[in-house]
Amino acid sequence: MGLRQFVDKIKPTFSEGGKLGFLHSTFEGFETFLFVPNTTTSKGAHIRDCNDIKRVMIVVVLALIPAMLFGMYNLGYQAGIEGILPAFWFGFLKMLPMIIVSYVTGLAIEFAFAQKRKHEINEGFLVTGLLIPMVMPVSVPLWIVALSTAFAVIIGKEVFGGTGMNVFNPALLARAFAFFAYTPQMSGEAVWYADGATGATALEQLSTTGAMQWSALDAFIGLIPGSMGETSTLAILIGAAILLFTGVASWRIMLSVFVGGLAFGYLFDAVGLTEFPAYYHLLVGGFAFGAVFMATDPVTSAQTNTGKWIYGFMVGALAILIRVINPAYPEGMMLSILFMNALAPLIDYFVVERNIARRKKLIKNVK
């Protein structure tokens, strides 16, 4: 019996009125996972396109893979394990439980809400579930991962109406929750190594002493301690290339985040607030990761093209501002993206208003 026949056979059980009718969203989720849906949109204007949420999300997951694989290797490397494969295996075993916990918690909640509200299960969590472990320190307890994932999915997403309606990036919200609720487990010197060793990250060293023990090249390749996905600017740039080539992420946002960061980096360097080259900012900490994977989130960023430039520039600029000026937060990327998430609709509003005013003036002139 083929898979299609089997799915068709069990379909009535899960449909409205069937024995397991309350699980119909789950069934539908797995059916569309296996087969292309054969239904068409019946009302409203819609564009016929091969791109759906599922495909977009898979591309983002693909783009995340280089950074993830490198992060696993780096965990082993930082723990002092010789050889590429043993180091990778060590990191893989450390990271796998976090990825599983994040997916299980998040998907369970998503499925429950989809069931209750009788809508389809969205694929948005595929990306969020992978992003969450990648922005956490390796030694964070698994229950913190589970709790922050639950918080991000319920308070950050489902209360606003689910995927596509959220104001804030869920993965960053999970990190912000963990950061403020369990600060000792999320920052400081003791959390970045898998084998119990301690030491400041490059970012912390830069903010306290103005210099770091690693070279800029090490920081670029990613052989520095840090959250699992964020260390390697190189691997992140590979991901960025995938996102830009497939057109999934906005190049305007990505570019303007880097421009904003560099501009403020040079500004603070020029007035003497920092003692290291401005481009260091882009190599250490979560700046590159945030710029490529977090700021470009199509749901929470600005929608208009002009708005995207302003939004991106402000994300980069604010991140550096927080890093340099506020000693309490060595890493400003999380806070700046969340803050700009909140302002993005406002930026769009003014861009649209300005456009309307300009067109109105045009009409007047013709008359």
Residues that bind another protein (CB under 8 A): 155, 159, 177, 180-183, 185
Q: Is 32 exposed, middle or buried (0-12, 13-18, 19+ CB in 10 A)?
A: middle
Q: Shortest Cβ distance from residue 279 to another protein (Å)?
A: 34
Q: Shortest Cβ distance from residue 132 to another protein (Å)?
A: 17
Q: Which residues contact 291 (CB under 8 A, 6 or more apart)?
A: 253, 254, 257, 258, 261, 312, 315, 316, 333
Find the farthest-apart pair of alpha carbons in the chain and give their distance in angstroms, rounded: 77
Q: Tell me, what DSSP letter sits at residue 285?
A: T
| Beta carbon nearer to another protein, 185 or 306 | 185
Q: Shortest Cβ distance from residue 335 to another protein (Å)?
A: 13
Q: Shortest Cβ distance from residue 178 to another protein (Å)?
A: 9
The answer to whether residues 319 and 258 touch, using CB atoms and an 8 Å cutoff, is no
Handedness of CA 139, 144, 150, 153 (dihedral sign): negative
At position 331, the amino acid (one-letter code) is E
| Beta carbon nearer to another protein, 161 or 247 | 161
Phi, psi of 133 (to 5 degrees): -65, -25
| Beta carbon nearer to another protein, 59 or 98 | 98
Q: Shortest Cβ distance from residue 190 to another protein (Å)?
A: 15
| Beta carbon nearer to another protein, 274 or 336 | 336
| Beta carbon nearer to another protein, 158 or 331 | 158
Q: In angstroms, rounded to a whole number, what is the distance separating the alpha carbons of residues 100 and 243?
A: 25
Q: Which residues contact 226 (CB under 8 A, 6 or more apart)?
A: 192, 201, 202, 203, 284, 285, 286
| Beta carbon nearer to another protein, 62 or 190 | 190
| Beta carbon nearer to another protein, 110 or 158 | 158
The answer to whether residues 137 and 200 touch, using CB atoms and an 8 Å cutoff, is no
Q: Shortest Cβ distance from residue 350 to another protein (Å)?
A: 26
Q: Shortest Cβ distance from residue 118 to another protein (Å)?
A: 16
Structure tokens at 36: 């292309």
Handedness of CA 200, 201, 203, 209 (dihedral sign): positive
